[in-house]
Amino acid sequence: MRLPPKVFWFTLAAMLAVTGLPFLYGWLSAGDAYVFGGFLFNPLDQNSYLAKMYQGWQGHWRYHLAFTASPGEGAYLFMFYLFLGHLARWLALPLVAVYHLARLSGAAALLWAAWGFFERTLPSARPSARGLALLLTAFGSGMGWVLVPFGRLTADFWVAEAYPFLSAYATPHFAWGLALMLWLLTPHLAGRPWRIGLSSGLMAVLLASMLPFGAALCLVVWGGWMALEAWREERLDSHPPDDDPASRLERLAGRFLAQRSALARLMGLLLGSGAVLLYDEWVTWTNPILAAWNAQNLTPTPPLWDVFISFAPVILLAIVGALQFGEQSHRAGRLLVTWAVLGLTLIYLPLGLQRRFMTGLYLPLIALAVVGLDRLAGGRPRRYGVLVAAVLMLSSLTNLLVFASGLHGIGARDPMLYLSRSEYQALTWLARNAPAQTVVLAAPETGLFIPAYTGLGVLYGHPFETPNAAENKTLVQAYFTRPLAAVPPTGVDLIFVGPREIALAGSPFALDYPAIYRSPAVTIYQVTR
């Protein structure tokens, strides 16, 4: 791939600024009374990633379920975040700093991979079309903003893995995962088949480790595209009228296997990601703690109307672009169509994690959309300019609202984004002084921060990563609703009483247990039996 033009570097600089500076602003705005948690988008999940990094920082290579009193024996899951935790320890950097460095470098890798992808899949498109595709990759989204006045938040506001901007704004594993997906699905197969297979296999291992559904999607899309090409060649060839189905099937298999370079990539994908995916499936079925977590880790796809609005206006233009490729002999174009069609089909399979197949779906729709827009313009520069301006405006307003909501959270000192200084100091004390197997009873919000800042266990801290989450959350809330009359649940070692716990109780309270830590706003009690 040749060096990208100036539009790439300007877009990259703008994307890094938009996805980086708000977090710096949040940190600088904390003042003396607060500590910025480091996250502006879905802090519930971001703190769970920080808890995984903390385990790596402690030296672990096996992940133990963090938001529970019974973490189990652990497994080789979430290796990307465990590695980032190790990296933070090696570099002597804060976990949050390493998290954002990984996120921003992932954003740069994602945009670089997107440029190469568009170069290979849109070779005949005008340069301005590839520039538009790049801008939509960096800043585009859907039209869910039209429903905000009616109190609706569609998928383009919260399904981060589907959209490059939200992926880069939210998490490093989404950004790096999408970059790897684009590299693996870019139809550039120069070199010997064994080298293609080896490099694809290594990338597939990395992808499956950080974004398992992305690896599964690459397998399905690449294999589906190869099957489509084999079927198309068979259909275009002339055969005797009495040709039997067995002969046709044999020729079809031969044409499929004759795509040597593409087959090498498919085999690399299958062998590299297959081992990781099979291990993930096995361990979440056989490990009882992880099985309980997996049973409540459900991600259903939003309704069809929601998905349509969340990908409009790009999805409408993509239909026109797909028809354009259907009239041409364009292998790379058919890869885009295959990805888009299979992605939109897989998200409605009857699976508990069906929404995960939305991963990266915006990318093939972008490529098809710029082709469709060019066709609608009909070679008229003025019409083309108007259409481009309309698409960019309609596709950027949702992300503008996401950006604005983060700034609003900073200004309001949202308690999901900020810890009070007293809470942070108490968590720091716990991290330094509490034994490793300690279980802390705290309010649900505090229970989210404790594993991320101390590595200690909690009775409840996360709606998916705490087994029997609903039952444990109710237990925690019931205790702090009447703390002076309630007995702490079995297995609790410490009770954390800070602003969030007092808010649950409705008034300040003191417990009849020894206080091992005390500050003006936080007291930590040792439970004695």
CB 63 within 8 A of CB 77: yes
Ramachandran area for residue 60 (φ above 0: left; ψ -120 to 50: alpha; else beta) = beta
Q: Are strands 494-497 and 523-526 parallel, antiparallel or unpaired?
A: antiparallel
pLDDT of residue 328: 58
State both tokens at 344.
């939109």
User: Per DSSP, what are the bridge partners of residue 472?
Assistant: none
Whole-angstrom Cα distance, residue 32 to residue 37?
Answer: 14
User: Which segments in the chain show pLDDT lower than 70?
Assistant: 1-3, 124-125, 236, 238-244, 326-329, 529
pLDDT of residue 19: 96
pLDDT of residue 73: 85
pLDDT of residue 106: 98
Within 415-514, residue ranges assigned H as helices are: 421-433, 444-454, 469-481, 499-505
* Rg of the chain taking only CA atoms, in angstroms: 26
Whole-angstrom Cα distance, residue 67 to residue 469?
Answer: 10
State which amino acid sits at residue 524: I
pLDDT of residue 318: 95
State both tokens at 72.
């189990």
pLDDT of residue 387: 94
Sequence-distant (6+) residues with CB within 8 A of 244 are: none
Question: Phi and psi for 229 in degrees, rounded to 5?
Answer: -65, -40
Handedness of CA 504, 507, 508, 509 (dihedral sign): negative
Going by the DSSP 8-state scheme, the letter that residue 523 receives in this structure is E
Whole-angstrom Cα distance, residue 154 to residue 394?
Answer: 15
State both tokens at 17.
């600024």
CB 292 within 8 A of CB 467: yes
CA-nearest of 96, 114, 87 to 43 is 96
